Amino acid sequence: MRRRAFASACHATWLLLLLLPLAARAGEAQDLAPVLDHQPIRTAVAGEPLTVRARIVSASGKPIAEPTVLVRLPGVTSFSRMAMKADAAFKDIYLAELPGQHVLADFDYFLEAFDEDGNGPGRSGTAEAPHHVTVVAKPAPQPAPQPPPTVAPAASTTPVGRLDIVTLPLGAQITVDGLPLGPSPRAEQARAGVVHRVRAEAPGYLAAEVETSVVEGQAVRVELRLEEEPSRMLINASGVFLLPGMYNQVAKLSFTSGGFGGDSVHLAVTEGFGADLSLTYVFARHHGLGLSFEYETVKFKSDVQSLGDSVVAKANTWATFLAYRGYFGPFAVFRPWLGLLVGGRMLSLGEGSQVSWGSGSERSKFYPAVCPEIGLAFELPAHITLQASIRIEVLSMIMDGPLLWPLGAGIGVHFL
């Protein structure tokens, strides 16, 4: 028995020694997997061929061997493989075309590639989380407008060359000499012997620009690398007003004269206004953290008919919130944001109020609050930003505190 156990242990040890290099080789192959840069396709037109394009770079220095598009058509559980071919005009660009007869309903796809030594696969998407394409109906053809009769121009003798434009990331919008041309990569004719200004822009990245010229009959490769937007500080001052008619229950509201007490009544906001100051540090990926300070003057009125207008509350409120805001879209245009503010508010009844809450003549109350927020910003030149927002204090309802729903519109500045 001991000999058998010893022999089994020896066999297991030799097997482990054999498998360890294989495992190390697998990890090394994954580390050297090709890098894929692909702009996922979201929509396609029914019945029309669809071109899938990607930039594939070898991490090992070995040539790319097996770039592939894997497509799962409607009603099929497995993926079909389609080889990608190198683009003759652009380095490291690979293409595959899905025939129009297969583009009839929504489908899924992902990309993978190996190098000649088998390192990989590098992927864009996976079988478990593929890119999804929504297929839309082909629009009805519109009658072409009849152009006015023109005299045919004489044949052009202007010498031209070609600009082969590639960007990282792919899909950036290209303009040449101020003329929009569409997403990269592109091959465009250009007049020879003059300087051309090539510009690339993409959401979340700083624009890149270069000047170049072409020689007649020759192609010039232009590669633009866009850098992510830098972090920045936003400072915003806003005017705030509260929507009237928002009811909420305040615990143990009572007359200060003692004529009424002990029970809870509802209050309605009749008017409210104030100011807000926010400091937000926006990271390169459009996430912001900061502080928000508020001061507001609010008037409440009881909705209990038997009390009439005799129960009136005037309050001053101060609030401090820690704020998270997620921004969407480029800073140069309208940019919406979603935010979440967590903090607390101190509400103090004014001298003219006829009510109090709590025990005795308590006139102030602190409560925590959580505020979801939605807003819109428009960045102007000279680092000026116009902003508008709306939020609601959610946790105050749970805590029997005043329900405040401020609207804000303000102007701010940002610093790079």
Given this model, what pLDDT does residue 150 score?
59
CB atoms < 10 A from the CB of 67, how many? 23
Domain of residue 403 covers: 232-415
Q: Which of 168-172, 292-296, 303-307, 392-396 has the lowest mean pLDDT?
A: 303-307
Q: Is residue 314 part of a domain?
A: yes
239 and 218 inside one domain: no
47 and 83 inside one domain: yes
Given this model, what pLDDT does residue 304 score?
56
240 and 350 inside one domain: yes
What is the three-class DSSP state of 41?
coil
> End of a domain among 225, 251, 270?
225
Q: Is residue 299 part of a domain?
A: yes
When pLDDT is cut at 50, 70 and 90, the band that residue 257 belongs to is very low
When pLDDT is cut at 50, 70 and 90, the band that residue 52 belongs to is very high
Q: Which two tokens stand for residue 290?
A: 């900061």
333 and 391 inside one domain: yes
Please answer whether residues 227 and 205 qualify as being in contact, where contact means their C-beta atoms are separated by less than 8 angstroms. yes
Whether the predicted pLDDT of 416 surpasses 50: no
**Distance, CA of 160 to chain centre:** 40
Strand partners, 345: 319, 367
Average pLDDT value for residue range 306-334: 72
- The 10s digit of each residue's pLDDT in 97-133 is 988 888 888 999 999 999 988 888 899 999 999 999 9
192 and 254 inside one domain: no
Given this model, what pLDDT does residue 254 score?
42
317 and 378 inside one domain: yes
Q: Which two tokens stand for residue 66?
A: 């097996």
Average pLDDT value for residue range 295-310: 66
200 and 307 inside one domain: no
Query: Alpha-carbon distance 240 to 273, whole Å?
Result: 5
Judged on CB neighbours under 10 Å (0-12, 13-18, 19+), 109 is buried
- The 10s digit of each residue's pLDDT in 160-182 is 889 999 998 888 899 999 888 88
248 and 375 inside one domain: yes
Average pLDDT value for residue range 78-89: 88
The domain that holds 249 is classified in CATH as 2.40.160.20
369 and 251 inside one domain: yes
When pLDDT is cut at 50, 70 and 90, the band that residue 210 belongs to is very high
When pLDDT is cut at 50, 70 and 90, the band that residue 355 belongs to is low
388 and 265 inside one domain: yes
Given this model, what pLDDT does residue 113 score?
93
Q: List strand residue ranges (DSSP E) for 99-136, in order.
A: 107-113, 122-124, 131-136
Q: Is residue 304 part of a domain?
A: yes
Please answer whether residues 345 and 393 qualify as being in contact, where contact means their C-beta atoms are separated by less than 8 angstroms. yes
Given this model, what pLDDT does residue 199 score?
93
Distances (CA, A) of 79 to 33, 68, 70, 71, 139: 21, 11, 6, 5, 29
Q: Which of 126-130, 292-296, 389-393, 402-406 has the lowest mean pLDDT?
A: 402-406
Give the list of residues 6+ apart from residue 92 with CB closer than 8 angstroms, or none: 55, 56, 57
Q: Is residue 150 part of a domain?
A: no
- The 10s digit of each residue's pLDDT in 274-299 is 888 888 888 766 788 999 898 888 77
Given this model, what pLDDT does residue 256 score?
38
Start-end of H helices in 296-339: none
When pLDDT is cut at 50, 70 and 90, the band that residue 302 belongs to is low
211 and 308 inside one domain: no
Given this model, what pLDDT does residue 7 score?
52
Q: 291-294 contacts: CB < 8 A, separation 24 or more?
A: 291/320, 291/321, 291/322, 291/323, 292/319, 292/320, 292/321, 292/323, 292/341, 292/343, 293/319, 293/320, 293/321, 294/240, 294/318, 294/319, 294/320, 294/321, 294/345, 294/406
Q: Is residue 1 part of a domain?
A: no
Residue type (1 letter), 103? V
366 and 277 inside one domain: yes
pLDDT, mean over the chain? 77
Given this model, what pLDDT does residue 83 score?
92
Please answer whether residues 274 and 297 qualify as being in contact, where contact means their C-beta atoms are separated by less than 8 angstroms. yes
> End of a domain among 225, 240, 268?
225
Given this model, what pLDDT does residue 328 score?
74
The domain that holds 66 is classified in CATH as 2.60.40.10
Q: Is residue 274 part of a domain?
A: yes
When pLDDT is cut at 50, 70 and 90, the band that residue 28 belongs to is low
Does the pTM surpass 0.85? The reply is no
Given this model, what pLDDT does residue 196 score?
92
When pLDDT is cut at 50, 70 and 90, the band that residue 153 belongs to is low
Q: Is residue 90 part of a domain?
A: yes
Given this model, what pLDDT does residue 41 score?
92
Distances (CA, A) of 173 to 91, 181, 302, 332: 19, 7, 58, 14
Q: Which of 3-7, 40-44, 299-303 has the highest mean pLDDT?
A: 40-44
Given this model, what pLDDT does residue 253 score?
43
* Residue 157 vs residue 128, higher pLDDT: 128
Q: Is residue 18 part of a domain?
A: no
When pLDDT is cut at 50, 70 and 90, the band that residue 262 belongs to is very low
Whether the predicted pLDDT of 13 surpasses 60: no
Residue type (1 letter), 385? T
The total number of structural domains that make up the chain = 3
Pick from 190, 182, 229, 181: which is nearest to 211 by CA? 190
Given this model, what pLDDT does residue 294 score?
86
Whether the predicted pLDDT of 395 surpasses 70: no
- What percentage of the chain carries pLDDT values higher than 70? 70
> End of a domain among 94, 120, 136?
136
Given this model, what pLDDT does residue 249 score?
43
